Structure 1
Amino acid sequence: MKIAILGSGLMGGTLGRLWAACGHDVTFAYSRSTGKLERLARDSGATHGSVAEAVEDAEAILLAVHWSRVDDVLQQAGLMTGQVVLNCCVPLDDSNTDLVVGTTISGAEQLAARRPDARWVSCFNTSPSESFDPVFARKDQTPRPHLLVCGDDVGAKDVAGSLIRDIGFDPLEAGPLRTARFVEPFAMVTAELAYGQPGGPALTYRFDKLR
């Protein structure tokens, strides 16, 4: 699968590297440093380019930038008509302390309103990037940790689910995109558990219905 990674931080860098290890055609884009994109591509056996080059003909696009940068990256990405966009952005303030959107609307819904012809899926924002490598290393073990997924396009969620399984998680259906109104605050809980409490940041979760 051809995947565009828009964002060169821990989230985008780690997922792009692991998807490349699975055999996907990964292109890294969007960084203040071209050298960083070059390193990510070299170390992953992937490629790098401009945002426009990365999204062209991409079968999946990962949006993994700080909330303050979404307008800029969307402008460079264009309309993304018909393309599957996996959004892992949480709408945080500049200090990464508080949500700037919430309860009656979500960051995911705002992004979808800005690019309504793209096929949006919200995922990967409820587990810290530090968990991805250990989950990937244990991907053949069961039970797998869950990863919440919400979106309005069934086919797009199927694409997201396949890529989530490649990392080693089981996708957990969380309903339509409006569920992101509650998922994004939950992401703040997982961040507190990962970074604010003892035990290290490689945090995962799993929900089970008891019978």
Structure 2
Amino acid sequence: MKIGILGSGLMGGKLGRLWAACGHEVCFSYARSTAKLEALAREAGASCGTVAETVAGAEVLLLAVHWSRVTDVLDQAGDLAGKLVLNCCVPLNESDTELVVGTTSSGAEELATMRPGARWVSCFNTTPSESFRPVFARKGQRPAPQVLTYGDDAQAKAVAGELIRDIGFEPLDTGGLRNARFVEPFAMATVELAYVQPGGAALTYRFEKLDG
């Protein structure tokens, strides 16, 4: 699958590397410097390019930028009509301490309003990036940790599920984009568990329904 990464920091860089290791054709874009982007692509055995080039050549896109950069990257990306876009952004302020959208709307819904022609699926935004490589190393072991996934396009969610399983997680469907109003705040709980409480940041989780 041809995967374009819009934002090549912690989330985009780590997921892109692992998808490339799975044999996907990955193109990185939107980094602080061209040198950083080129180094990342070389390391991953992938390619890099401008945002417009990446969008044009991709079957699936991953939007992985800080909320403050969303408008800029979308301006460079164009209208995204018909594009399947995985969103791992959380609508945080500059200091990453507070949600700037919530309760009556959500970051996912705001993105869908900005680019209504895109096929949006949110995933990985409640999962610390430090968990990606350890989970990938254990891929195939059961039970697999879960990734909360939500969107209004069932077919797009199915594709997202395949890519989630490639990393070693299991997708957990949490409904439509509107449910982002409740899922995105859960990211703040995972921040507390991963980065504030002891034990390290490679946090995973799994929800189970009990019989009886």
Percent sequence identity is 73
User: Is residue 55 from structure 1 mapped to residue 55 from structure 2 by the alignment?
Assistant: yes
User: Is residue 165 from structure 1 mapped to residue 160 from structure 2 by the alignment?
Assistant: no
Counterpart secondary structure, 1:27: strand
Q: Counterpart amino acid of 2:101?
A: V
5+ residue gaps in structure 1? none
5+ residue gaps in structure 2? none
TM-score by length of structure 1 reads 0.99
Deviations 1:63-91 (A, max 9, x none): 00000000000000011111110000000
Mean alpha-carbon deviation: is it higher for 52-61 or for 136-145? 52-61
User: Is residue 14 from structure 1 mapped to residue 10 from structure 2 by the alignment?
Assistant: no
Counterpart secondary structure, 2:188: helix
Deviations 1:9-51 (A, max 9, x none): 1100000000000000000000121111101100000000000
TM-superposed deviation, 1:57: 3.5
* 1:136-155 aligned within 5 A: 136-155=136-155
Would you say how many aligned residue pairs link Structure 1 and Structure 2?
211
Measure the CA separation in 2 of the matches of 1:153 and 1:40: 31
Whether contact under 8 Å (2:4, 2:57) holds in the other structure is no
Counterpart secondary structure, 1:56: helix
Match of 1:178 in 2: 178
TM-score by length of structure 2 reads 0.99
TM-superposed deviation, 1:59: 1.1
Measure the CA separation in 2 of the matches of 1:176 and 1:57: 27
Match of 2:95 in 1: 95
Match of 2:156 in 1: 156
> Moved runs in structure 1, 4+ residues, more than 6 A?
none
User: Is residue 72 from structure 1 mapped to residue 72 from structure 2 by the alignment?
Assistant: yes
Deviations 1:97-145 (A, max 9, x none): 1000001100010000000000000100011000000000001100000
Counterpart secondary structure, 2:120: strand
Match of 2:33 in 1: 33
